[in-house]
Structure formats: C-alpha cells, structure tokens
C-alpha cells in the first residue's frame, strides 16, 4: 500500500459513495440470481438502507468513517467502542483497493487500540466471506455463530 490512508466521519454527502461500497460487496452473490441490473440495484438499495438503519439503531455512538487514500474515498470503517470490547461493525473497500494492505493496516490499528485499552476486538463476518482468512491471520478466533455470521474475537493480551 502506498499513499496516506486516513479516516473521516461519514457525512450526508457520502450516502451515494457508501451505497457503491456496499453494492460492490454484493456483486458475486447477486451474479447468481437471474435479475436485471435494475432489479439488482433496487435490491441493493433496499438492503443498504436496512443495514444503515440497523447500524444507526444498534450502534449509537459508534464511529462511522469513510476510508480515504490520498484524500479520495475508497471504503468505510465502522467501529463501536464499548466498556468491555471494541467491535468492528463493518469494514469494506471498493474492489480495486482490496488486497493491497489497506484493510489489514486499519484492522491492526484497531487491534493496537484494543491492546492499549485492555479490551478484546470483535467482528461479525459471514461464514463464507473470504476475509475470514484475513481475520484468522490477524489472530481472530470464532467464538460464536448467529445465523450465517460468525462472531470472531481477538483477545487482548
């Protein structure tokens, strides 16, 4: 990864960008359904709105940030900091920025924050998400299961 990666709080002007990031995470899944592009986009809009509402309701007070590379938005990182743990709510990058070390660098920063605070870091991840392997490499272990999601935890030492 080259260039400065920074975080800034999500603003109202970011909604379309955040939708694009979300939609990019569903491309492979939606490639398997016989829907038109318009139907896929409408489905993604509905799911994005539901996810956004869920995050706002269940993670009030969390940090909802846009990930920027050299000042250009490339993804999102949502983190809740609770009394007894730090939860990575969501991390997602546009496809062209995946596999370049941006995500792992940001996750390592959250892990360092957890270590300094004496708190474990957790994340829910879909069982078949390729990022599971990244989380395992970073020391996360499966500690629970909720539907299609695993709860993974990286304990503080």
Segment 94-136, tens digit of pLDDT = 999 999 999 999 999 999 999 999 999 999 999 888 889 999 9
pTM of the model: 0.93
For residues 59 and 82, the answer to whether their CB atoms sit within 8 Å is no
Question: Rounded to an integer, what is the distance from CA 17 to the centroid of its chain?
Answer: 14
Is the pLDDT at 63 greater than 60? The verdict is yes
Q: Rounded mean pLDDT of 12-17? A: 96
Cα distance between residue 48 and residue 145, in whole Å: 23
Where does the pLDDT of residue 8 fall: very low under 50, low under 70, confident under 90, or very high at 90 and above?
A: very high
List Cα–Cα distances, 96 to 93, 102, 109, 133, 135, in angstroms.
Answer: 8, 11, 22, 19, 20
Q: Rounded mean pLDDT of 74-84? A: 98
Domain ranges of the chain: 5-154
CA angle 57, 117, 98 (to 5 degrees): 65
Angle between helices 15-24 and 37-58 (to 10 degrees): 110
CATH topology (fold) of 5-154: Aminopeptidase (3.40.630)
Cα distance between residue 145 and residue 157, in whole Å: 23
Is the pLDDT at 12 greater than 60? The verdict is yes
% pLDDT > 70, the chain: 97
pLDDT confidence of residue 130: 86
Neighbours of 50 (CB within 10 A): 10
Average pLDDT over all residues of the chain: 94
């Amino acid at each position: 990864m080259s260039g400065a990666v920074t975080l800034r709080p999500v603003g109202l002007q970011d909604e379309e960008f955040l939708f694009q990031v979300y939609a990019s995470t569903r491309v492979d899944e939606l490639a398997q359904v016989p829907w038109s592009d318009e139907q896929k986009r409408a489905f993604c809009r509905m799911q994005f709105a539901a996810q956004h509402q869920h995050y706002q309701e269940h993670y009030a007070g969390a940090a909802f940030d846009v990930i920027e590379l050299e000042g250009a938005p490339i993804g999102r990182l949502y983190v809740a900091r609770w009394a007894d743990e730090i939860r990575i709510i969501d991390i997602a990058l546009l496809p062209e920025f995946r596999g370049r070390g941006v995500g792992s660098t940001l996750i390592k920063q959250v892990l360092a924050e957890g270590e300094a605070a004496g708190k474990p870091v957790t994340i829910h991840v879909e069982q078949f998400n390729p990022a599971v392997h990244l989380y395992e490499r970073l020391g996360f272990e499966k500690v629970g299961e909720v539907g299609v999601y695993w709860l993974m935890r990286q304990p503080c030492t």
